[in-house]
Amino acid sequence: MTAYTNLIVPVHDFSPISGIAQDELIRLIMKRAKYLIAIADYQPHCDIPCMPTSGGTPEEISALNAEVNGRLPNDYAAFLRTCRYLIISQGFEIGGLDLGRPWLSDRHCKGKEFIIFACYCRFADSDQLMIDTDSGEVIAYLHELGPLFERYAPNFLAAVWRMVTETF
Protein backbone atom coordinates (compact mmCIF):
# COMPACT_ATOMS: atom_id res chain seq x y z
CA MET A 1 0.00 0.00 0.00
CA THR A 2 1.27 3.44 -0.92
CA ALA A 3 1.61 5.92 1.93
CA TYR A 4 0.03 9.25 1.07
CA THR A 5 1.10 12.40 2.89
CA ASN A 6 0.27 16.09 3.13
CA LEU A 7 3.80 17.41 3.59
CA ILE A 8 3.59 19.88 0.68
CA VAL A 9 0.00 19.92 -0.56
CA PRO A 10 -2.11 21.36 2.28
CA VAL A 11 -5.21 19.62 3.55
CA HIS A 12 -8.26 21.12 1.83
CA ASP A 13 -11.77 21.78 3.14
CA PHE A 14 -14.28 20.06 0.87
CA SER A 15 -17.32 20.84 3.05
CA PRO A 16 -18.58 23.58 0.66
CA ILE A 17 -19.37 20.90 -1.94
CA SER A 18 -20.74 18.32 0.47
CA GLY A 19 -24.22 17.29 -0.61
CA ILE A 20 -24.10 19.09 -3.97
CA ALA A 21 -25.48 16.95 -6.78
CA GLN A 22 -22.98 15.84 -9.42
CA ASP A 23 -24.56 17.83 -12.28
CA GLU A 24 -24.67 20.99 -10.18
CA LEU A 25 -21.04 20.55 -9.12
CA ILE A 26 -19.99 20.18 -12.76
CA ARG A 27 -21.94 23.37 -13.59
CA LEU A 28 -20.18 25.25 -10.77
CA ILE A 29 -16.78 23.95 -11.89
CA MET A 30 -17.37 25.03 -15.47
CA LYS A 31 -18.59 28.47 -14.40
CA ARG A 32 -15.50 29.03 -12.25
CA ALA A 33 -13.15 27.67 -14.95
CA LYS A 34 -14.67 30.02 -17.53
CA TYR A 35 -14.10 32.93 -15.13
CA LEU A 36 -10.44 31.96 -14.49
CA ILE A 37 -9.70 31.60 -18.20
CA ALA A 38 -11.29 35.00 -18.87
CA ILE A 39 -9.54 36.96 -16.11
CA ALA A 40 -6.18 35.45 -17.03
CA ASP A 41 -6.90 36.13 -20.73
CA TYR A 42 -5.44 32.67 -21.33
CA GLN A 43 -7.45 31.61 -24.42
CA PRO A 44 -5.39 33.70 -26.91
CA HIS A 45 -2.33 31.69 -25.88
CA CYS A 46 -3.92 28.34 -26.79
CA ASP A 47 -4.27 26.79 -30.22
CA ILE A 48 -7.39 24.93 -29.11
CA PRO A 49 -10.33 26.01 -26.94
CA CYS A 50 -9.45 26.03 -23.23
CA MET A 51 -12.96 24.86 -22.46
CA PRO A 52 -14.71 22.96 -25.26
CA THR A 53 -18.39 23.76 -25.63
CA SER A 54 -19.38 20.13 -26.13
CA GLY A 55 -18.82 16.91 -24.30
CA GLY A 56 -17.92 13.46 -25.41
CA THR A 57 -20.23 10.91 -26.91
CA PRO A 58 -21.09 7.71 -25.05
CA GLU A 59 -18.94 5.80 -27.57
CA GLU A 60 -15.90 8.04 -26.96
CA ILE A 61 -16.23 7.77 -23.19
CA SER A 62 -16.70 4.01 -23.42
CA ALA A 63 -13.54 3.73 -25.55
CA LEU A 64 -11.58 5.77 -22.99
CA ASN A 65 -12.92 3.58 -20.19
CA ALA A 66 -11.67 0.53 -22.10
CA GLU A 67 -8.22 2.16 -22.42
CA VAL A 68 -7.99 2.36 -18.62
CA ASN A 69 -9.24 -1.21 -18.16
CA GLY A 70 -12.76 -0.21 -17.11
CA ARG A 71 -11.55 1.93 -14.21
CA LEU A 72 -12.78 5.35 -15.33
CA PRO A 73 -14.69 6.77 -12.33
CA ASN A 74 -18.35 7.63 -12.91
CA ASP A 75 -17.82 11.29 -11.94
CA TYR A 76 -15.00 11.60 -14.49
CA ALA A 77 -17.26 10.12 -17.19
CA ALA A 78 -19.99 12.60 -16.21
CA PHE A 79 -17.50 15.47 -16.52
CA LEU A 80 -16.44 14.26 -19.97
CA ARG A 81 -20.07 14.20 -21.11
CA THR A 82 -20.05 17.97 -20.45
CA CYS A 83 -16.48 18.93 -21.33
CA ARG A 84 -13.99 16.96 -23.43
CA TYR A 85 -10.98 18.34 -21.48
CA LEU A 86 -10.19 21.55 -19.60
CA ILE A 87 -7.24 23.94 -19.74
CA ILE A 88 -7.40 26.30 -16.77
CA SER A 89 -3.99 27.85 -17.40
CA GLN A 90 -0.52 26.72 -18.35
CA GLY A 91 0.34 23.74 -16.19
CA PHE A 92 -3.23 23.23 -14.91
CA GLU A 93 -4.96 20.95 -17.38
CA ILE A 94 -7.55 18.22 -16.98
CA GLY A 95 -7.01 15.58 -19.62
CA GLY A 96 -9.87 14.08 -21.51
CA LEU A 97 -10.89 13.01 -24.95
CA ASP A 98 -8.85 15.35 -27.17
CA LEU A 99 -6.05 16.62 -24.94
CA GLY A 100 -3.89 14.92 -22.36
CA ARG A 101 -5.72 11.64 -22.71
CA PRO A 102 -5.79 9.87 -19.32
CA TRP A 103 -3.68 6.76 -19.07
CA LEU A 104 -3.23 3.86 -16.72
CA SER A 105 0.17 3.71 -15.04
CA ASP A 106 1.80 1.01 -12.99
CA ARG A 107 5.16 2.83 -13.10
CA HIS A 108 4.51 5.50 -10.48
CA CYS A 109 4.46 3.00 -7.64
CA LYS A 110 5.43 -0.65 -7.80
CA GLY A 111 2.40 -2.93 -7.53
CA LYS A 112 -0.16 -0.11 -7.81
CA GLU A 113 -2.14 1.38 -10.70
CA PHE A 114 -3.18 4.99 -11.13
CA ILE A 115 -5.11 6.84 -13.81
CA ILE A 116 -2.98 9.84 -14.71
CA PHE A 117 -5.39 12.59 -15.75
CA ALA A 118 -4.02 16.09 -15.09
CA CYS A 119 -1.05 18.33 -15.31
CA TYR A 120 -0.64 20.00 -11.90
CA CYS A 121 2.32 22.37 -12.00
CA ARG A 122 1.68 24.23 -8.76
CA PHE A 123 4.94 23.16 -7.14
CA ALA A 124 7.05 22.09 -10.13
CA ASP A 125 6.66 21.38 -13.80
CA SER A 126 5.46 17.96 -14.86
CA ASP A 127 3.73 17.12 -11.58
CA GLN A 128 0.53 15.16 -12.08
CA LEU A 129 -2.83 14.41 -10.54
CA MET A 130 -3.77 10.76 -10.59
CA ILE A 131 -6.60 8.58 -9.40
CA ASP A 132 -5.82 5.67 -7.09
CA THR A 133 -7.68 2.87 -8.89
CA ASP A 134 -8.33 1.03 -5.61
CA SER A 135 -9.83 3.88 -3.57
CA GLY A 136 -10.82 6.49 -6.16
CA GLU A 137 -8.87 9.09 -4.18
CA VAL A 138 -6.97 11.72 -6.17
CA ILE A 139 -3.26 11.95 -5.43
CA ALA A 140 -0.81 14.68 -6.41
CA TYR A 141 2.38 13.10 -7.69
CA LEU A 142 5.20 15.54 -6.93
CA HIS A 143 8.14 14.05 -8.82
CA GLU A 144 10.82 16.60 -7.85
CA LEU A 145 10.04 16.49 -4.14
CA GLY A 146 10.81 12.91 -3.32
CA PRO A 147 8.82 11.87 -5.27
CA LEU A 148 5.91 12.41 -2.93
CA PHE A 149 2.40 11.02 -3.17
CA GLU A 150 0.23 13.74 -1.63
CA ARG A 151 -3.49 13.52 -0.84
CA TYR A 152 -5.33 15.99 -3.05
CA ALA A 153 -9.05 15.15 -3.11
CA PRO A 154 -11.43 12.34 -2.22
CA ASN A 155 -12.57 11.88 -5.86
CA PHE A 156 -12.25 13.26 -9.38
CA LEU A 157 -14.89 16.02 -9.23
CA ALA A 158 -13.65 17.22 -5.85
CA ALA A 159 -10.16 17.44 -7.39
CA VAL A 160 -11.38 19.55 -10.32
CA TRP A 161 -13.39 21.75 -7.96
CA ARG A 162 -10.27 22.22 -5.83
CA MET A 163 -8.23 23.11 -8.92
CA VAL A 164 -10.64 25.84 -9.98
CA THR A 165 -11.13 27.30 -6.51
CA GLU A 166 -7.54 27.39 -5.26
CA THR A 167 -5.54 30.51 -5.88
CA PHE A 168 -2.60 29.87 -8.17
For residue 110, the SS3 value is coil
The DSSP bridge pattern shows strands 114-120 and 92-94 to be antiparallel
Task: List pLDDT tens digits, range 46-82.
Answer: 999 999 989 999 999 999 999 999 999 999 999 999 9
Whether 168 has a pLDDT exceeding 70, the answer reads: no
pLDDT given at position 108: 84
Task: List pLDDT tens digits, range 127-144.
Answer: 999 999 999 999 999 988
What are the boundaries of each domain within the chain? 15-165
Domain 15-165 sits in CATH at 3.40.1580
Give the DSSP letter of residue 143.
G
Whether 19 has a pLDDT exceeding 60, the answer reads: yes
pLDDT given at position 107: 87
Instruction: Give the Cβ contact number of residue 153 at 10 Å.
Output: 23
